[in-house]
């Protein structure tokens, strides 16, 4: 509160009757009690609610658990561990990332360096990938499965020696005609009116085994899975118990179509073009984002934020070094 406001407030309080001052004090003490207990987190190690304040550490409130005696700050085990940025900046950055803004845009808007925005974004994407592993996206009801392809990208890096082609300029197309190894495959699945998932495991067309690897854990046994006839999909009937239909051989095209998954593909391609490609090694992090951002169902964003920014036992901490070295896609 500014000194000016404090003076104004004191002036107003002086005008109150004794009875009103008493009421005011009572309300203020209730608000104070509520704010100190509401923001006191449970222990991230043993989940005990028996927590006391324990001074400050690196500008953050430190707490001590009365049960296990361990100490923690309010960001321990969250996405914000070891970060100097406040939770408001993290929330804004997560929002920008989901809305598809560029790293440069977020850096400028939030007055942080490009490197800092890069690492924050990648820490968030890595955690999003983890969350999707913990809470696997399950496709049920009527779901559409298909693949889409994007050109590989080494984004500003020299091409590795085993890559047998000249570097591509921005906006340049593939050097070989057709679906060559320059293309990376993104396998996608989406439930009509439900969740979406995207995952890359290969270049060019996926094999039956690769389709199994990608989809078998995402498809429920009562799913009607629509696809475009790539033979590998049919084997999902055996592995998951779902029913697979090829839209190309069915009559009723107003029902048997892949319109929903195609609009998901358009969304991925628009984002991919806007980013001017995504370095292929980071593609699965972005696939996690594409799946989440295309269909945010039932307050998913609020749940995600509280999952990542509140204290929890699951360690969501990635160091800056992890963001450029862990969980990279090698194709």
The residue among 77 and 260 lying less far from Zn ion, judged by its C-beta, is 77
Distance CA 215, CA 117 (A): 33
The residue among 28 and 313 lying less far from Zn ion, judged by its C-beta, is 313
In 3D space, the residue among 177, 168, 125, 165 whose CA is nearest the CA of residue 286 turns out to be: 125
How crowded is residue 109: how many other Cβ atoms within 10 Å of its Cβ? 13
The residue among 43 and 128 lying less far from Zn ion, judged by its C-beta, is 43
In whole angstroms, the minimum distance from the beta carbon of 318 to Zn ion comes to 24
In whole angstroms, the minimum distance from the beta carbon of 62 to Zn ion comes to 13
Distance CA 286, CA 271 (A): 10
Question: What sign does the CA torsion over 153, 101, 310, 290 have?
Answer: negative
Binding range to Zn ion, per CB under 5 A, among 40-48, 118-126, 145-153, 230-238: 40-48
Output the CA–CA distances (angstroms, integers) from residue 183 to 43, 188, 191, 210, in the order listed.
47, 15, 26, 16
Pick left, alpha or beta for residue 125 (phi over 0 → left; psi -120 to 50 → alpha; otherwise beta).
alpha
Output the CA–CA distances (angstroms, integers) from residue 251 to 246, 247, 248, 257, in the order listed.
10, 8, 8, 10
* Number of residues counted as binding Zn ion (CB under 5 A): 7
Q: Is 311 in the site for Zn ion (CB under 5 A)?
A: no
Q: Is 45 in the site for Zn ion (CB under 5 A)?
A: yes
Looking at beta carbons, which pairs linking 229-234 to residues 24 or more positions away fall under 8 Å? Answer: 230/147, 230/205, 230/206, 232/206, 232/207, 232/208, 233/145
In whole angstroms, the minimum distance from the beta carbon of 244 to Zn ion comes to 49
In whole angstroms, the minimum distance from the beta carbon of 156 to Zn ion comes to 45
Q: Is 46 in the site for Zn ion (CB under 5 A)?
A: yes
Binding range to Zn ion, per CB under 5 A, among 4-12, 38-46, 164-172, 198-206: 38-46
Q: Is 73 in the site for Zn ion (CB under 5 A)?
A: no
Binding range to Zn ion, per CB under 5 A, among 41-49, 88-96, 167-175, 287-295: 41-49
With CB under 5 A as the contact rule, the residue among 20, 29, 36, 48 that binds Zn ion is 48
Encoded one letter per residue, x for contact with Zn ion by CB under 5 A and - for no contact, window 50-69 reads ---------------x-xx-
In whole angstroms, the minimum distance from the beta carbon of 69 to Zn ion comes to 7
In whole angstroms, the minimum distance from the beta carbon of 242 to Zn ion comes to 43
Binding range to Zn ion, per CB under 5 A, among 12-20, 25-33, 36-44, 123-131: 36-44
The residue among 43 and 80 lying less far from Zn ion, judged by its C-beta, is 43
Cβ atoms of residues 24 and 13 within 8 Å: yes
Binding range to Zn ion, per CB under 5 A, among 39-47, 54-62, 167-175, 315-323: 39-47
Encoded one letter per residue, x for contact with Zn ion by CB under 5 A and - for no contact, window 277-306 reads ------------------------------
Q: Is 198 exposed, middle or buried (0-12, 13-18, 19+ CB in 10 A)?
A: buried
The residue among 41 and 232 lying less far from Zn ion, judged by its C-beta, is 41
Q: Is 221 in the site for Zn ion (CB under 5 A)?
A: no
242-279: b (≥16 Cβ within 10 Å) or e: bebbebeeeeeeeebebebbeebbebbeebbeeeebbb
Give backbone dihedrals phi and psi of 106, rounded to 5 degrees, phi first: -60, -40
Give residues in contact with Zn ion (CB under 5 A).
43, 45-46, 48, 65, 67-68
């Amino acid at each position: 509160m500014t000194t000016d406001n404090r003076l104004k407030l004191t002036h107003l309080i002086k005008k109150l009757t004794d009875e009103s001052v008493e009421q005011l004090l009572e309300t203020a003490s209730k608000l104070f009690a509520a704010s100190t207990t509401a923001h006191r987190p449970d222990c991230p190690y043993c989940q005990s609610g028996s927590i006391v304040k324990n001074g400050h550490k690196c500008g953050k409130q430190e707490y001590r658990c009365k049960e296990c005696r361990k100490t923690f700050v309010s960001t321990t085990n969250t996405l914000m561990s070891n970060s100097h940025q406040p939770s408001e900046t993290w929330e804004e950055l997560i929002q920008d990332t989901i809305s598809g803004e560029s790293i440069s845009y977020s850096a400028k808007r939030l007055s942080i360096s490009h490197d800092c925005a890069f690492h924050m974004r990648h820490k968030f994407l890595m955690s999003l990938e983890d969350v999707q592993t913990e809470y696997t996206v399950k496709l049920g009801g009527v779901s559409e499965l298909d693949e889409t392809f994007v050109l590989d990208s080494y984004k500003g890096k020299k091409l590795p020696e085993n890559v047998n082609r000249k570097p591509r300029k921005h906006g340049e197309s593939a050097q070989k005609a057709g679906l060559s190894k320059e293309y990376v495959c993104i396998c996608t699945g989406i439930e009509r009116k439900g969740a979406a998932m995207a995952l890359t495991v290969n270049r060019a067309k996926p094999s039956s085994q690769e389709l199994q690897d990608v989809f078998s854990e995402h498809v429920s046994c009562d799913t009607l899975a629509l696809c475009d006839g790539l033979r590998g999909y049919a084997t999902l009937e055996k592995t998951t118990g779902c029913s697979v239909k090829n839209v190309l051989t069915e009559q009723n095209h107003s029902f048997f179509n892949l319109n929903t998954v195609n609009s998901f593909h358009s969304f991925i391609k628009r984002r991919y073009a806007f980013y001017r490609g995504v370095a292929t090694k980071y593609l699965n992090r972005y696939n996690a984002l594409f799946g989440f951002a295309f269909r945010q169902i039932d307050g998913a964003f609020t749940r995600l934020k509280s999952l990542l920014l509140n204290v929890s036992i699951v360690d969501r901490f990635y160091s800056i070094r992890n963001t450029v070295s862990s969980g990279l896609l090698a194709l």
